[in-house]
């Protein structure tokens, strides 16, 4: 009897549709934990690098200093210097230049956010759909139980138990796949938001440096 009530035996005795549902949910769970480990490592490295980079930029007085002290911020620095170059004949309009540099930075920040969030949205999909996939397996298992009752003209537990067992198994596996996916997604959503905030701090610091260069009249505009 214990063997008949084990998870393995319930899966082995389940209808092929329920088996496919369970296998799909197990694969989804594996994907969740794979994304969790990979993204955790990635965001830790990115976070440490961003904090070091921001600390270096905060010490810079000019764009040239920032490039020397924080060469990893080349994309933002290039964007700022490109706008200064394109605005070489309008350097007296400092507010307009700052606004245009800020617009360029906003696009870079958005791209950074999309890169950091890569792979995270699949967790939201798993968390949203896994319970319903499990419910489909549950409904199918209960249908099999009713079919067994109709065919055998009895409500004997031996007849209905296999269908009920596979139905409950599908429900359990669906929750097993969905709950961690939702928790991990929410965690990484907060982590990505924090990393975007660090990127925004860096962009704001470089914008301030460019503004100081304009105020001093030392903004580099040569090609």
Tokens of 41: 């490592």
Which pLDDT does position 2 carry in this prediction? 39
Q: What percent of the chain has a predicted confidence (pLDDT) above 90?
A: 45
- C-alpha to C-alpha distance for 82 and 162, rounded to whole angstroms: 70
Find out whether 160 and 15 touch, Cβ atoms under 8 Å.
no
Give me the mean pLDDT over the 143-171 stretch.
74
pLDDT digits (tens, 9 = 90+) for 107-153: 998 998 899 999 899 999 999 999 999 999 888 888 877 777 777 77
- C-alpha to C-alpha distance for 18 and 136, rounded to whole angstroms: 8
pTM above 0.85, yes or no: no
Tokens of 15: 């209808």
- C-alpha to C-alpha distance for 149 and 162, rounded to whole angstroms: 11
């Amino acid at each position: 009897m214990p063997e008949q009530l084990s998870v393995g035996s319930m899966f082995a005795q389940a209808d092929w549709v329920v088996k496919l549902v369970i296998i799909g949910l197990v694969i989804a769970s594996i994907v969740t934990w794979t994304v969790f480990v990979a993204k955790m490592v990635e965001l830790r490295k990115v976070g440490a690098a961003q904090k070091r980079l921001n600390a270096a930029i905060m010490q810079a007085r000019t764009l040239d200093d920032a490039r020397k002290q924080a060469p990893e911020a080349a994309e933002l620095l290039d964007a700022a210097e490109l706008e200064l170059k394109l605005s070489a004949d309008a350097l007296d309009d400092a507010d307009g230049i700052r606004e245009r540099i800020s617009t360029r930075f906003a696009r870079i920040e958005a791209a950074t956010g999309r890169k950091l969030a890569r792979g995270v949205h699949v967790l939201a999909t798993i968390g949203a759909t896994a319970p319903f996939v499990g419910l489909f397996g549950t409904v199918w298992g209960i249908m099999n139980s009713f079919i067994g009752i109709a065919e055998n003209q009895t409500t004997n537990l031996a007849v209905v138990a296999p269908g009920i067992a596979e139905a409950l198994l599908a429900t359990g596996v669906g929750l097993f796949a969905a709950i961690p996916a939702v928790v991990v997604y929410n965690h990484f959503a907060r982590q990505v938001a924090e990393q975007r905030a660090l990127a925004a701090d860096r962009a704001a610091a470089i914008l301030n440096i460019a503004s100081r260069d304009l105020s001093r009249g030392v903004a580099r505009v040569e090609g």
